[in-house]
Chains A and B, each alone.
Chain A
């Protein structure tokens, strides 16, 4: 079945530094979603990318979808302590409508 791989697994940064997590798929994705999960919390939807080469921004967060639609990235500029959490990418999980396959996530720690 489809797999979505994320790197790195962990990232420790000082507050103010930038952060990037990468998501790679073995197959072409029709779309990709990004979720954030705070420590002890549940995944919360951030954004969806659909078009090849698409770039979307949400304040300090920049999301990219690769030209081949097999990879994606999330970049955070000037991290803040509120950015702490696990960031997951998720791609369509198959023919079942709505099914998602999640990556293993990148755990971000921000040191003040």
Chain B
């Protein structure tokens, strides 16, 4: 089974430039997540999609970050314009997606290799 694919793996840009990341989740996974992981910290959820709808984007800096998952499969995350503090690893993850209910197991999230962004 193919894992979560991400591209590019590395990106170096100057501040105020734009950048886009791509993610292709595991086939059949309805839920897709974008995380930001700053060096030395745990992943922080930016946005969560269920199929092509946004479930949670409460921690997405919407003045500069945007994301879409138009056909409910692959997704893009864009930063425009980038700031120095955006330097981080951007991780995409996916899970099967299902019905939330008390006592149900939390779904396993499968992470892609990430995109390492350096903003100069």
| SS class, residues of chain B in contact with chain A | loop
CB within 8 Å of A: which residues of B?
Answer: 31, 33, 40-45, 48, 50, 55-56, 91, 93, 95, 97-100, 102-103, 105-114
Q: Select A100's contact among B40, B103, B106, beta carbons within 8 Å.
A: B106
Given the contacts A97-B100, A98-B97, A99-B56, A45 and B109 also touching, CB distance less than 8 Å: yes
Closest partner residue, chain A, to B106 (CB atom): A31
Interface size on A, residues (CB 8 A): 25
Closest partner residue, chain A, to B107 (CB atom): A98
Q: Are B111 and A44 in contact (CB under 8 A)?
A: yes
CB within 8 Å of B: which residues of A?
Answer: 30-31, 33, 41-45, 48, 50, 88, 90, 92-94, 96-105
Q: Select B42's contact among A30, A41, A94, A104, beta carbons within 8 Å.
A: A104
Q: Are A45 and B108 in contact (CB under 8 A)?
A: yes
Q: Are B41 and A43 in contact (CB under 8 A)?
A: no
Q: Are A50 and B33 in contact (CB under 8 A)?
A: no
